[in-house]
Structure 1
Amino acid sequence: MKIKNLLSACAIAMVVLFTSCSNDDNTQSNPPVAPTVTLTSPLNSDTNVARNKVITVNFSTAMDASSINTTTFTLKQAGTTVLGTVSYAGTTASFTPSTVLAANTIYTASITTGAKNSAGTAISSNKQWYFTTTTNTAVGLSAVGLGTAGNYVILAKTAINNVPTSAITGDLGLSPAATSFITGFSLTDFTGYATSAQVTGKVYAADMVSPTSTNLTTAVQNMITAYNDAAGRPSPDYVELGTGNIGGRTLTPGLYKWTSTVTIPTDVTISGTADDVWIFQISGDLTMSAATNVTLQGGAKASNIFWQVAGEATFGTTSHFEGVILSMTGITFQTGASFNGRALAQTAVILDGNTVVQPQ
């Protein structure tokens, strides 16, 4: 009986020991899963890639944004690093070249193991791929045709209101609203137009004698056509760049699209040649902070830069802006803001001691 009991006790002890070991194994933490690159754009070996292409990488999980930078995400051509900016949102990293890429040229993009997920786990190995740009020496984006709307530095439908004293170079037009909705200019009436000491040009409104009224009707129609053209351009090169905050960026030629408000809290540079074109499609507002500048570089021309704004366009005190504004909701220049371009609004343009110059 003692032997039988001893054997039973040993059996129980073995079961307990086995179960304890088994439980210990099960409670060990699983090793961390390394994030992976699930998609690149362009794809590896892609050809005929647009020269203003933003290179993007999608990860399998959310990454630590601080680990996605110009050290871990690079673009090279024949071993030479291409300058650009890196941004990260959601699970997507983007590399925006500072200048247009060369035509018919092979580029190599890389993500290193310095890229880590939010838990600090790095990708398992470096990711590298290459692509070849288009043989077309031009970026290929055509300018927005303004028609006779391009005859005006400011064109609006409901009002042009000014707090003196502004200095405007170019003609002003208002239609279908009448001359009484142009305020703050101390107008002097002539046949078919008016003048102001604040305007180097002429001022026109819908209630002035023909052909002024007819010309303005056509110009407003052309303005709306231009707005629709800019808004309808397909296949944007840049989508949701900076999640709407473009402060501090250098913007190369191409078609940009945002589905929300765009802000310019710090200086922006628009870089390209005199033949390059920029179109910015903005579904929300465009808001520029005070004392902030948009500057042109490399021969870029304000007449080839088009800001299509579905919401309000507002430019802060003493800021400086460049380009053609096509606004559906209204344009406001706050005290002392300056502008080189055309302000074309389907509602009102509001001025407050501004310097406005039509582009060359």
Structure 2
Amino acid sequence: MNKLLVLTLFYAALFIFPSTSFGQAPSLGTASSFALFTANGAFFNAGASMIIGDIGTNEGAFNGFPIPGTVVGNIRLPNTAEAAQAALDVVAAYNSLTPVACGPSIIADLASQTLTPGVSCQTLTTATSLNGTLTLSGAGIYIIKLNSALTTATNSSILLTNGATAANVYFQVNGAVTLGTNSSLKGTIIATGAIDFGTQASLEGRALSTAGAITLSNNSVYPPALSPDLTPVIELPQANFATAPNNERDFVVNVFELGGSPTSSGNVAMTLSAPIGYTISFTNTISSITVSGGSTVSVDNTKWTATSSDGDRFH
């Protein structure tokens, strides 16, 4: 009685931003292509994490990818030119945010606050938490500067309203970052300490550290511009399976273009997950797909791979 099936479709992209000033995004340099990176620290994953974007470390042990995790992007390891340059760029990005003038002050618990575009700063040095929902309202760049470590609670989240987008949100964290179980954060995190993802925590953006380990546990991290209409959730009620032979059902997923633009030129990944004890199967013999209102698109099934943990992941 498979109650819930979640399909997430991602499309890899890079983002380049202007130099930092009040209300402007920091330049990430080559780090803009990374979903997860630490300039100095170990990188560890446990479970079927799905990461869209480059990952790596410039100094420290690395394990957990490509198995059991899945990455749609490059893995950059110590003693490579790419990792060395990304390390320099992450430190430069963090330092560029330090002199940026502060606007509104924020309190230690980010929950139940509503921030508008600009630079918001924590004035105290006590630990910062998110024990609920932080609302960001309005189109523009958000720079959130924290003087201490950040911890998000279980099921905490960030709500984007009135034109706010994850691509325009930046957290400068002077310390470690801990994302709680099932929490959902949006934006680019640039921290000076370890970044620890609790089980099933997700990030629409990037997590970058100047000096700290990155730890994952069945997480998803994906680029900020990809989520608006490419993350459908399919509800499969238990009643639909009760009378079906062997408790099996076919289902149809409708996927739409992002903002009217085709997504055929980059890497595309679909994640199909089912509760523990159930499996997902798919036909890998189709040769074409008919697009409503358009033409027939050929499909090359040799480009698809599947891995399985609690569910099935195809990319």
TM-score clears 0.5 = yes
Is the aligned partner of 1:175 residue 2:23?
no
CA contact (8 A) 1:336 1:355 kept: yes
Q: CA deviation at 1:320?
A: 0.2
- Residue of 112, 128, 133 corresponding to 1:267: 133
Tell me: CA distance 1:158–1:197, structure 2 relative to 1, closer, same or farther (3 Å).
closer
Q: Which protein has greater RCO, CA pairs closer than 8 Å, 6+ apart?
A: 2
CA contact (8 A) 2:48 2:69 kept: no
Q: Which runs of 5+ in 1 are unaligned?
A: 1-138, 188-195, 208-212
- Residue of 222, 228, 239 corresponding to 1:357: 222
User: Aligned ranges for residues 179-328 of structure 1 at < 5 Å?
Assistant: 181-186=61-66, 198-207=70-79, 213-234=80-101, 236-239=102-105, 241-242=106-107, 244-258=108-122, 259-260=124-125, 261-273=127-139, 276-328=140-192
What's the TM-score once normalised by structure 1's chain length?
A: 0.53
Is the aligned partner of 1:153 residue 2:35?
yes
Alpha-carbon distance in structure 2 between the residues aligned to 1:205 and 1:184: 13
Whichever residue aligns with residue 185 of structure 1, its letter is: F
CA contact (8 A) 1:256 1:280 kept: yes
CA contact (8 A) 1:272 1:300 kept: yes
CA contact (8 A) 1:313 1:330 kept: yes
CA contact (8 A) 1:164 1:185 kept: no
What's the TM-score once normalised by structure 2's chain length?
A: 0.61
Alpha-carbon distance in structure 2 between the residues aligned to 1:217 and 1:304: 26
User: Aligned ranges for residues 37-56 of structure 1 at < 5 Å?
Assistant: none
Q: CA deviation at 1:299?
A: 2.4
CA contact (8 A) 1:295 1:321 kept: no
CA root-mean-square deviation: 1.7
Whichever residue aligns with residue 198 of structure 1, its letter is: T
Q: CA deviation at 1:350?
A: 0.9
- Specify the SS of the correspondent of 1:232: coil
Whichever residue aligns with residue 86 of structure 2, its letter is: A
| More helix, by proportion | 1
Q: Stretches of 4+ moved more than 6 A in 1?
A: none
Q: Hey, what does 2:11 align to over in structure 1?
A: none
The percent of aligned pairs where both chains have the same amino acid is 29
User: Aligned ranges for residues 66-81 of structure 1 at < 5 Å?
Assistant: none
1:329-360, CA deviations, whole angstroms, 9 ceiling, x for partnerless residues?
11111001011010101221111110111222
Is the aligned partner of 1:348 residue 2:213?
yes
Alpha-carbon distance in structure 1 between the residues aligned to 2:22 and 2:63: 42
- Specify the SS of the correspondent of 2:98: helix
User: Aligned ranges for residues 105-116 of structure 1 at < 5 Å?
Assistant: none
